[in-house]
Structure 1
Amino acid sequence: AMDRLKCFEGMPHPYDRKKRMVLPAALKVLRLRPERRFCKLGDLSKEFGWKHQDLIKRLEDQRKVKSAAFHKKKVASTRARADAVKKVKVSAEDQKVLEAAGFA
């Protein structure tokens, strides 16, 4: 299992373009009891001499801005496509072809 483990600082290139998922079994609020203490790995590492926490935070903020812009653009295009699909007038024979293909 440790051979397959991958650890990264921030969000590396191949994964910043992938759809993100939430694993409920890994959520801090579900795994830790309220009275338990916790820390973040970056904060702990900085206390022991890691010098890149500020850089990673800056890069992560840039990634979040780009991600929000992409999401806004994607939502707009999805909404425009849905509106266009609603406005389309399809003839009866074209409708039969679409139904046969499973698109209607």
Structure 2
Amino acid sequence: MCLKPGRKYCHLGRLSHEVGWKYQQVVRTLENKRKAREYVTIRKNGCLKKVTYEASKQVEKVVAPFTQVIQSFGYH
């Protein structure tokens, strides 16, 4: 959640642990694993975008005549 600067907040896991909940460490471990997977996915998607952009630049000259025909019909 996005909070405004200066707002007070608390973590639900910490509060639950203080009143007897026994799974704070389990949830923390699972959350760290989720964050690691998300980081890898973001990095992979960034690399895929770069490769796709480079490939489109290489093919641009070959498909230029077809692009002109498509644009002549009003598509951009």
Tell whether the structures are fold-level matches, with TM greater than 0.5.
yes
What residue in structure 2 maps to residue 80 of structure 1?
Answer: 51
For residue 27 of structure 1, what is the amino acid of its counterpart?
C
Runs (4 or more) in structure 1 with deviation over 4 Å come to: none
Give the structure with the larger helix fraction: 2
What residue in structure 1 maps to residue 4 of structure 2?
Answer: 29
Task: Supply the distance in 2 between the matched residues of 1:98 and 1:58 (Cα, whole angstroms).
Answer: 53
After superposition, what is the alpha-carbon deviation per residue over 1:58-102, rounded to whole angstroms, capped at 9, x for unaligned?
A: 00111111111111111101110011111211242x113442473
Structure 2: 5+ residue stretches without partners: none
What residue in structure 1 maps to residue 35 of structure 2?
Answer: 64
Of residues 70, 90, 95 in structure 1, which corresponds to 2:67?
95
Task: Supply the distance in 2 between the matched residues of 1:75 and 1:98 (Cα, whole angstroms).
Answer: 30
The count of aligned residue pairs is 73
Structure 1 residues 58 and 41, CA gap change in structure 2 (3 angstroms):
same
**RMSD (Å) for aligned C-alpha atoms:** 2.1
The equivalences for 1:35-50 within 5 A come to 37-50=8-21
Taking only the aligned residue pairs, the percentage that are identical comes to 29
| CA-CA distance at 1:40 after TM superposition | 1.4
Bigger Cα Rg: 2
Structure 1: 5+ residue stretches without partners: 1-25
